[in-house]
Amino acid sequence: MLTSFKEIDHPIYLFHEHIYYIFKNIFHYDLEEFDEEKLVHPDFRTIINASKVRLLNPLKEIVTSYHKLPFGEKITVQEALVQNNCISVFDNLSHNLITYDQLHSSISIKLKKYFEDLWNDYPQTMLMENQWNTVKHHYDSLTHEANCNFIICPFCGIYPFNPPDGKYREEYDHIIAKATYPFVSINFKLLFPCCQYCNKQEKRSKELLYDAIPARRLSFYPYDSNITLDRLSINVSLNEAYNNQSLETLLKSIDWKFEILRDGVIDIRDASWDEVYGIKRRFSENIKRLEAEWFRELIRKFKRNTKPFADFLDELIEELKYQIPIAPMGITKYVYFSFIFSVPNIEDKLLKVGA
């Protein structure tokens, strides 16, 4: 990620908290049949009874199915509730998630439908919307300028978000996939807006926390305040020398690669970020597409410049850095210009362009 979200206090979090409360009590009491007094928090009872089809009746079936499970299968379901909602999974390789496939089939199917419906059909009643508001309201609050200093998707840095208080919101990415892992579909501590290109074209069903083997890997948690732009550097590293190729299309002409660093060192979480969201490939595609135009822009500014070249360079880089969180393609443009200015004797080379 380029940078992190700033977590907000929003009433929609209560939805997950109430559902979590119910399942903790299901495990604790292990009842033969549903008992509202024992299982449901008083503040949630009116809501759950107002949505019998979506909220109440499926829970009754789950209670009965859970009670009939062998003891060991019950323990696995209990562990899934806790482990799949534990934030430490992002930075602790010993922490493993539990999938629907690991649960007994008699309860796995019921849980999967129930939790996917909780997300897909939210709000199940107007009572919920009145008390906890909408996903759109959460999006507006999370991405509002009072809480957020970027308008570009922080997962890729390429495409802009829909504006808060506008008609549409960005789709939310279940960082821990709701189709694979139980109990996570409405946990807004694991739900984040991202652009459609990141969500639908790149991530899709790929796992952040497991590679293709699958083996556990670390990944960025989008509410981690240590993920900041000022700690990130993305550099172009050439794999071959160049002689007389045109600077205007240099990166189309030779072989090169990206180096991603945090505070000047490699962070293994960037490998997960790159693999899941196709960061290096997408950056490369966009730089190659736009480098000729960006180079012409540089020449126009260079020919109008009256300051010492070092000052010109510093001011331009500073402006491009400022644009990263607010301008589409801002990060790729910054990376490209940083590379061009690192070319040996670049001032002399620019002077010769068009001469």
If phi > 0 it is left, if psi is from -120 to 50 it is alpha, else beta; for residue 217 that is beta
The whole-number pLDDT of residue 242 equals: 80
Euclidean distance between CA atoms 152 and 158, whole angstroms: 7
> How confident is the model over 330-342, as pLDDT tens digits?
999 999 999 999 9
Do the beta carbons of residue 157 and residue 330 sit within 8 Å?
Answer: yes
* Cα separation values, 283 from 192, 235, 236, 341, Å: 22, 11, 11, 18
pLDDT per residue as tens digits for the range 149-159: 999 999 999 99
Mean pLDDT calculated for residue range 293-319: 96
pLDDT in tens, 251-262: 998 999 999 999
Q: What is the largest CA-CA distance in the chain?
A: 87
Q: What is the pLDDT of residue 246?
A: 83
pLDDT, mean over the chain = 96
Average pLDDT on 22-50 reads: 98
